[in-house]
Amino acid sequence: MHIRLTLALTITLVTAGPASPVRAQERESLRPTPQQFTQLKRDAEKAFLQNEPKLALTLAAQARRAMPDDLEIYSILVRAHLALGQIPEAEKQAQWMLDLRTEHPLSLQRAADVREAIGQFDGAIALLNDAFGRVRTPQEKAAILTQAARLQRKAGREASAQRLIEEAYKLMPQEPKP
């Protein structure tokens, strides 16, 4: 009896098309739980911060399959692709972020990262200026100012870079001056 049941289930799975209820149930059972998704996202961010962009890319791609519209996952994908020198792929992921949430500061920051990677410093600075106006916390503002200062330096505008660093320092006086 057990063999017949197993055989019947196998035949059902093999002959079921991709739109069948059996396949849908199978896909759903493979989807990570919300806790697993959160852990995947944390692990991807940790891998990126530990200078393991390939691992971060793998983990973020898994998480994206589970939650295809999460901006933080796309952010990790953009940064990992840039770290690996895969600029066209980073650009594609940044564009997805902008398509999902055009005016979100994280989307604008990652688009600025891509612009920086291709040497379009003024375009990157414009994106960061837009992002700066959309963030609320002093930490977020200071992070954007610091990123903009780095771009100003790359563009050869040392005085502007220094002014931005001083503004960031005013927002976060307990942080050490770079």
Contact 125, 151 (CB under 8 A): yes
* CB-count burial class (<10 Å; 0-12, 13-18, 19+) for 19: exposed
Average pLDDT, the chain: 87
First to last CA, the chain: 73
Q: How far apart are CA 115 and CA 125, in angstroms?
A: 9
Radius of gyration of the chain (CA): 22
Residue 155's CB is within 10 A of a number of other CB atoms, namely 17
pLDDT value of residue 177: 55
pLDDT value of residue 173: 75
Strands (E), 29-136: none
Q: How far apart are CA 98 and CA 110, in angstroms?
A: 9
pLDDT value of residue 37: 86
Q: How far apart are CA 37 and CA 147, in angstroms?
A: 29
Contact 160, 152 (CB under 8 A): yes
What domains are defined for the chain? 35-100 (1.25.40.10), 103-178 (1.25.40.10)
Of residues 101, 57, 49, 103, the one with CA closest to residue 78: 57
Q: Summarize pLDDT for 64-98 with one digit per residue, the tens.
A: 988 889 999 999 999 999 999 999 999 999 999 99
Is this model's pTM higher than 0.85 or not? Answer: no
The residue count of the chain comes to 178
pLDDT value of residue 142: 96
Q: Report DSSP state, residue 60.
A: H
The phi-psi region of residue 156 (left if phi > 0; otherwise alpha if psi is between -120 and 50; otherwise beta) is: left
Q: Summarize pLDDT for 148-169 with one digit per residue, the tens.
A: 999 999 999 999 999 999 999 9
Residue 135 confidence class, pLDDT cut points 50, 70, 90 = very high
Of residues 69, 158, 156, 160, the one with CA closest to residue 106: 69
Q: How far apart are CA 79 and CA 88, in angstroms?
A: 12
Between 38 and 12, where is the model more confident? 38
